[in-house]
Structure 1
């Protein structure tokens, strides 16, 4: 059964003759069956085989004995051996990762080094059907991406080539039986018996029920995995095709989308749009990023709220401002300023505005970039500043006053601009003008003998 499965896999995935194959071997029955079956056909397929073993140094002499066991087996079978000892406990202290995740990171880093050293085509791993069931169920329970729900791939890119997993349709007892037939006495890892690990709890308490219902359930799960992967890859292809209509601006680790265009996309592709954006802005997707975060983004984008912020792991900020939504790591550092205007001149603001103030200039007519008022209507000095909580202004042509916050909302000013936009007041804190936004009731019809103040925006690189 094992040999037939391996040869069928090699044919299905076009694993060519003369390939260089690194095999990850722990010394347990799964990986030993994998190593022996590959070595058995290496002459037939002209494979170059390298056995790679990692000692995680968790179990002292016992794990060192595992390394020696695999090394000796390779010597007896005339197979090239690459072994490594990695202090995973030290790596855990440095990173704060769980023991299993830390061990996985270190192990795959070692495999990557061996792949590059030998310019290998494939890294073969001994995961079997029960491992696949555990992986799919764990991801369904804790949450994952759509492609994550497919579980482990039979073949995927890695290092200088690809990872292959030929045994995902087999059960563990198939591999144990193969070892018995070939007089292989594999090593045992006692940690596999401990319920302290989530995977072990699924293995010991959930899988027996599943196999009682269907002794070949691993084949059904593997069929689901392939279908899920095929569907997901197709949907991602569709999503990539419509991204150019959704993205307005794309920079390194920063993306701006058009919300209106985004909401026209079918919901199944909306989810994948967000997934692609997150994969782009994050150099590496953090472990703390969950499906719940993605759902929160979608819910907020589909809500009636047109301005909001959402903080994601590792400092990523998602900010919606009306029809734009920005994914960025750049935190806005507001430039606060208060400038007193006691005489005519040009006043440069720290945010890129330049404001020109003139007196007794009656030749200017009110324009969008200019505000004119009477000297007798205001108290000096004038002040140019940022907005403050509670700011209100009396609008030209209207009775009463209105909150500045509401004015910004009505004018659909971007959230990122509001805190630094210039507000021009007199010394009594009467707001005279919010450039390009609103003019106050202080701009009126003037008599020909009034002394006037003309305030003009002469440059704006904001």
Structure 2
């Protein structure tokens, strides 16, 4: 375990620690970490406490794992803290995924143990293979910033910090350590189930990478540290730059100069948007995505001098010439009648005249009717969809009619002039108008052989413009 000792020394993981809590499930990784820190406790001058949490998800099997850890600690006179929590109930009450619920309950227990013993560090057994899997998963789903760096070596937690001494070694090295030290870990069968995304990366992607380079975990760890260092520097530069473009900054509202913002380097622009959103939201809504950030940049770069975006949780982004305002209070101006943004599936958006929602289903809805609902196969259109206000000369293809001007459709439907300015127009990525919510849908090819169907719904406000 010389590599682990070098890793600890390089990153100063135990330089100031006196009491270390070790999160232990009973598996090879965490049992090896507990054994290693206990064996080297005199060298590092630390007291070691084992903390084990039974998620109560696998009945007697989970309870047995808790007892295995307790017995392990008893034989070596390691202070043991064990607890149980009904994760399934917590998941149901808080509407979370099983993994998120388990993590929340587990970390809450770790926090309690650290505070009770005034511990300086919580040691967790994430290793180099975990790092590779995590970084690949995040790259694949489109993460950005610090998230791309994967699992941090250390970070603040409770009254101390989380440390991960095993990030520099592999799962195979840990299993070899268990064999040499005659440790007898338990094995969680869920780690073999391919219904979990991580397990699919572990079984299908990681073996290929290791064939190409047996030390791939070291390259990923180096990349992780490089990304973290670069991101720290860029964030500091962004904080300096963003202060120079802000016109006003108050609770719940930001106003900035469009011209000055556009002169910032693009990497700082992207991070600047993130800083602004973090400031305004306090807690970022799960529905906020990179699409919203790109829409924000597009609004500021547009040749159109004005426009409005509607972000999750009622955040309005309004541009009027060189001023861009972000606030939870809509500003009523003529310019704000213009909007144009990508619409995620599934998704929900508030509009000046009402709201649009989108859901995806595997079975074609047969009983849904009405002009306020539009159902289509994902094979019928080019995604992503865009929602915008009308433009001069807009036309759409209508079954049995041919193409018609939107202006004529509005006139026939007796839509008031002021309402026409803010009425949503839904088009696909090719620019084809597919739906005028509440009024009419475009001609469809009716492709019925589809695994997924999209249901769009329009809810018009009772009192509009």
Q: Give the TM-score normalised by the residue count of structure 1.
A: 0.69
How far apart in 2 are the matches of 1:256 and 1:120? 44
What value does the CA root-mean-square deviation take over the aligned residues? 2.3
- 1:270, CA displacement in angstroms? 0.1
Q: 1:316 to 1:145 in 2, by over 3 A?
A: farther
| 1:8 aligned residue (3, 6, 9) | 6
- Please, which moves more after superposition, 96-105 or 310-319? 310-319
Structure 2 unpaired stretches of 5+: 334-414, 423-465
Structure 2 residue aligned with 1:168: 167
- 1:253, CA displacement in angstroms? 3.6
Please tell me whether residue 157 in structure 1 is matched to residue 161 in structure 2: no
How far apart in 1 are the matches of 2:16 and 2:271? 38
Structure 1 residue aligned with 2:292: 293
3-state SS of paired residue (1:110): helix
Q: Superposition pairs for residues 252-271 of structure 1, below 5 Å?
A: 252-271=251-270
Structure 2 residue aligned with 1:245: 244
- 1:150, CA displacement in angstroms? 0.9
3-state SS of paired residue (2:116): helix
C-alpha contact 1:17 1:45 (8 A) present in aligned 2:
no
Q: 1:275 to 1:194 in 2, by over 3 A?
A: same
Q: 1:83 to 1:247 in 2, by over 3 A?
A: farther
3-state SS of paired residue (1:82): strand
How far apart in 1 are the matches of 2:311 and 2:86? 32
3-state SS of paired residue (1:147): helix
Q: Superposition pairs for residues 123-142 of structure 1, below 5 Å?
A: 123-142=122-141
- Please, which moves more after superposition, 154-163 or 183-192? 154-163
How far apart in 1 are the matches of 2:421 and 2:95? 46
How far apart in 2 are the matches of 1:107 and 1:254? 36
Q: 1:312 to 1:95 in 2, by over 3 A?
A: farther
Structure 1 residue aligned with 2:60: 61
- 1:257, CA displacement in angstroms? 2.2
Structure 1 residue aligned with 2:437: none
Structure 1 unpaired stretches of 5+: 335-387, 392-402, 406-462
- 1:232, CA displacement in angstroms? 0.9
C-alpha contact 1:17 1:46 (8 A) present in aligned 2:
no
- 1:332, CA displacement in angstroms? 6.5
Q: 1:329 to 1:190 in 2, by over 3 A?
A: farther
Q: Greater CA radius of gyration, 1 or 2?
A: 1
Q: Give the TM-score normalised by the residue count of structure 2.
A: 0.69
How far apart in 1 are the matches of 2:118 and 2:176? 33
Structure 2 residue aligned with 1:212: 211
Q: 1:324 to 1:80 in 2, by over 3 A?
A: farther
